[in-house]
Structures are given as C-alpha cells and as structure tokens.
C-alpha cells in the first residue's frame, strides 16, 4: 500500500463535514468481537470546480487514495468507486475510541510509486484554520469503533449513507464535499455633516472626513438560517480594495444563503453598525454586481451613477421618545396640523427635545391633545422596518416625502390643503373638508402630482418624514387606535 509523509497543519476546505456510524450485522461465528474491526471511508464524487452536475472527477483530479491520520498513525487506503461514490479500502482498528487529526483525498499524479508529486484534491478543515468557522466540528474529532452495536455519531451536518458489506462490527465515514465561494463588496456613504463623524473610524481614511466616503461595513453570512461567519473592512478603513466574503456551499445539497449588510453610522453620539439590507440567494448564484464582479452600494443618493444597490439616506434617530400635542390644533402655531412637543431625546440625533410642526398620517383614528405618549420612532425612508400596518404604506410615504420637497410648486397653499393632500395620499380620503382640513382643487392636485413618485428619496438638504407610532405596537397587528403622526426632518 502506498504511503505518504505526514503533512503539516493544513487549512484546506473542500471537505467540510464527516459523520461516523457503525452497522450491526448477523454475528459470524469465526469473528472475534474484541479483535480489529474494519473501518472504511466513502465520499461522493464532485468536480474540482465544485459544479454539482459533474458526476466524476477530471482525469487530472481523480482521487487515488486517502491520507488519514488516526491516533498519530497515517493510513493510506486506496480509493475505488461504486455508483458515483468514492470508497476507501477498509482499515483494521481494535474496538475503542479514536481521534482523526487529518483527512485528505489524494491524486497520485499517475505515479503510484512516487509520492513526491502527489496532489491534494480536498481536505477537512482544521481548528484554527481560516475556514474552521464554516463547520461546527473541525478536525480533530473523535469516533468510536464498537462491534455488534450500531453507533451513529453526528460530527457534522451531512447524512450518513449505508452500504452493503459481508462483514460486521465496523465503522465507516460518509463525507460530503463543499466548495468555498467568494463574492466582493464595496460601498459609499453620504453624510450631511462630515464633522458629525469626528472620532469615528472614517476619520482615519486617507482623505479624512468628507461628504462622500468609502463605507465601513460588515456582512454577516447565514446558511440555511444558521449564522456562519462575519466579515468587515475595519482593518483598512473601507478603502483601497473590496471586502472579500468567502462562504461554504455544500456540493450535494441546496444551500440557502443570507448576507446581512450593516454599515457603520452615527447613532446619537456613538458609532455603531446598523442593519440596512439583506441579500438572499441559493448555492452558486451571485448577487447582482453589474458585471464587474464587485457588488457596490451607496448609502444616500448623492451619487449620480447607479450602484448595484442604492440605499436611501440614513436618518440618525432615537429608538423612541415622548410625544405630546400642545396648544391649539388645526392649525398649530407653527403652520402645521398640530404642534408636537418631543422629549426624552438623547444627544446627537437629527432632532432634539423641543416643539415641532407635526402632521397626521391617519384620518380615521384620534390622538388626545395634551396627553403624553410614548412613541417608537421610524424613518419613512425605511418603511420595511415599521410595523406591518405602516410598512404597507411604503409607496405613500414616498409620495408624502415628494410633496414636502415640492411645496414650492404650490405657492399660496395652506396648512389645511397640505393636510388634506396627506389624507388623500395616505387614506384615500374623498372629503368633505373638516375642521380646517381642506378637500379642494389644490389638495387634490397635490395628491395627484405625488401619485407617480413611489420611488422618491430626498437629496441631501431635502426633507423626510420621521414617523411616531405608539410604543409597544405589535409589528404584525392592524392599525393602532391612535393616529400615526410625523414631523419632517432634513436627512
């Protein structure tokens, strides 16, 4: 039997998981249950490129034998094929517990008597290697040889595949290979006031703080809804080259992947990663990258070029605050539907404690004047993060934002006409005018003009609604019995 030298610690990743099992057979009188038992290994065949359609290795990557280190001893059983599955010749082990520290499938380079030119085709990843995080149990791992007893030890996620043998009381391994795939990411972040990011990692970029900067971000990788690994570009401050995201794709099953994008932004006076987008795909599918191989995104719309992913501007908002309507209403003293006194707002956000002109987004419910409400705070630019009833109005929030950024188009319009247009947009209101809120030609024209602007996002210096929803509202329930209120903030 051909032998090879013990390899140094490797970080190979093509073989990601193992399952150990032993099988019961009818006793054979001549068999000694305390003596050596047969152990064999099996593996499905895949191409070197990892394509799932291939049923055999190319000639130059044919697996000839396996190099297996068990309890310090190297075994090199030959490999043969049955119905597209590779099996090793059986090796003999006494009953007991063993540790596998190396498992490599080898190609002998068509020189069976010379090991110096042999080629490693695939291997199990080791603890501490770059890809150890792709498996739950990287090498080394233990297994037990037990005669006449069926033992199944789930080392990893792959199912065990039985085979027919004439003997009994042995263990075997079934293996599934994975392909390590990679996608590249690069992003930009547009900020309203670069000085807001003093003290952040952005300050260390080669050009310092700017209105438009390379984004510092992380991507969390999930496979089949299980977290695998996280990558970020902090070490090089997001500039100079894209972020490489590697991940394991099992060759013989369908894997569903989720990449969660979080960007380093200012929250209050701190700098934190906030989640902005999730990509999903299966197996070897690629996230759209415009053909250049790099998935590029922009946070904010100050970039005139179309990236692969355009994210609306970021609003630095508190998670919650207090909200109270003060003084008269319909109108308030600030030229809007009501005056809203906001409190419990921490430092550094896009709005602070104080009184703001506020508007009503829901005609069919009421809100009490002078009552202090605890409100959750949401950006209208990210309606998918709102409770379901408000998220369903995603297009309408875009229309309302368009209206407030184009009020100059309606010279002489009144607060009542603006509020009327909001109700027409948000609630399909058809009048009649009530309590100063007007259903007239101007309010109808405003709503009609806004109708086609479902993809509107404001440019820097524009306005976007900040939405207040009663705290504790069930994200999946219907509209709460308190009006949805909002103010306009420059994002």
Specify whether 479 is located in the same domain as 436.
yes
User: d(Cα 153, Cα 20) in Å, to the nearest integer?
Assistant: 5
Specify whether 156 is located in the same domain as 245.
no
Domain end residue (candidates: 149, 178, 207): 178
Specify whether 253 is located in the same domain as 229.
yes
Specify whether 102 is located in the same domain as 237.
no
In a domain, 34, yes or no: yes
Specify whether 194 is located in the same domain as 121.
no
Specify whether 379 is located in the same domain as 434.
yes
In a domain, 9, yes or no: no
In a domain, 341, yes or no: yes
Specify whether 155 is located in the same domain as 208.
no
Domain end residue (candidates: 254, 283, 311): 311
Specify whether 185 is located in the same domain as 152.
no
Q: How many folded domains does the chain comprise?
A: 3
Specify whether 134 is located in the same domain as 26.
yes
Residue 322 contacts residue 299 (beta carbons within 8 Å): no
In a domain, 23, yes or no: yes
In a domain, 432, yes or no: yes
Specify whether 296 is located in the same domain as 351.
no
pTM for the model stands at 0.67
Question: How do the pLDDT tens digits run along the chain, 491 residues long?
Answer: 333 333 333 333 333 333 333 223 333 333 456 666 666 655 443 333 333 333 333 334 577 888 888 888 888 888 766 665 556 676 777 888 889 887 777 888 888 888 877 877 767 777 776 666 665 667 888 888 776 543 333 333 222 223 322 232 334 445 567 888 999 999 999 988 899 999 999 999 999 999 899 999 999 999 999 999 999 999 999 999 999 999 999 887 899 999 999 999 999 999 999 999 999 999 999 999 999 999 999 998 766 678 999 999 999 999 999 999 998 888 999 999 999 999 999 999 999 999 999 999 988 888 999 999 999 999 999 999 998 888 888 999 999 999 999 999 999 999 999 999 999 999 999 999 999 999 999 999 999 999 999 999 888 778 999 999 988 776 666 667 788 999 999 86
Domain end residue (candidates: 272, 287, 311): 311
Specify whether 303 is located in the same domain as 396.
no
In a domain, 442, yes or no: yes
Specify whether 153 is located in the same domain as 163.
yes
Q: Which domain holds residue 424?
A: 320-489
């Amino acid at each position: 039997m051909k032998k090879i030298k013990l390899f140094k610690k490797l970080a190979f990743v093509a073989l990601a998981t193992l399952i150990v099992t032993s099988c019961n057979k009818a006793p054979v009188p001549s068999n000694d249950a305390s003596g050596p038992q047969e152990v064999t290994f099996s593996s499905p065949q895949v191409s070197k490129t990892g394509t799932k359609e291939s049923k055999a290795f190319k000639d130059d990557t044919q697996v000839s034998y396996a190099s297996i280190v068990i309890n310090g001893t190297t075994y090199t059983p030959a490999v043969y094929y049955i119905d597209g599955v590779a099996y090793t010749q059986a090796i003999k082990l006494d009953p007991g517990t063993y540790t596998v520290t190396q498992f490599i499938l080898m190609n002998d380079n068509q020189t069976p008597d010379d090991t110096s030119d042999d080629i490693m085709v695939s291997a199990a990843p080791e603890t501490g290697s770059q890809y150890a995080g792709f498996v739950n149990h990287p090498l080394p791992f233990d297994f037990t040889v037990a005669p006449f007893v069926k033992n199944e030890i789930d080392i990893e996620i792959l199912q065990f595949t039985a085979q027919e043998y004439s003997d009994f009381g042995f263990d075997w391994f079934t293996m599934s290979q994975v392909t390590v795939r990679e996608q590249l990411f690069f992003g930009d972040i547009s900020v309203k006031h670069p000085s807001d990011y003093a003290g952040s990692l952005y300050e260390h970029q080669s050009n310092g703080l700017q209105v438009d900067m390379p984004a510092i971000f992380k991507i969390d990788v999930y496979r089949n809804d299980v977290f695998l690994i996280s990558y970020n570009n902090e070490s090089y401050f997001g500039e100079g080259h894209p972020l490489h995201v590697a991940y394991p794709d099992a060759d013989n099953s369908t894997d569903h992947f989720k990449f969660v994008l979080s960007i380093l932004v200012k929250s209050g006076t701190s700098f934190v990663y906030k989640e902005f987008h999730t990509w999903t795909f299966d197996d070897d599918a690629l996230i759209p990258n415009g053909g250049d191989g790099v998935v590029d995104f922009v946070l904010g719309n100050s970039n005139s070029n179309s990236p692969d992913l355009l994210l609306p501007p970021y609003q630095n908002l508190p998670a919650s605050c207090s909200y109270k309507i003060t003084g008269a209403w319909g109108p308030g003293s600030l030229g809007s539907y009501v005056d809203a006194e906001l409190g419990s707002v921490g430092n550094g956000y896009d709005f602070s404690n104080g009184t703001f002109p506020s508007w009503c987004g829901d005609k069919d419910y009421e809100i009490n004047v002078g009552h202090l409400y605890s409100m959750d705070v949401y950006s209208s630019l990210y309606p998918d993060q709102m409770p379901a009833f408000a998220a369903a109005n995603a297009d309408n929030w875009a229309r309302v934002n368009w209206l407030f950024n184009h009020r100059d188009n309606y010279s002489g319009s009144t607060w009542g006409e603006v509020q009327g247009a909001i109700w027409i947009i948000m609630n399909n209101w058809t009048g009649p005018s009530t309590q100063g809120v007007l259903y007239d030609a101007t309010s109808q024209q405003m709503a009609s003009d806004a109708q086609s602007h479902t993809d509107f996002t404001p440019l820097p210096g524009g306005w976007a609604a900040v939405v207040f929803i009663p705290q504790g509202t069930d994200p999946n329930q219907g509209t709460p019995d308190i009006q949805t209120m909002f103010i306009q903030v420059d994002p």
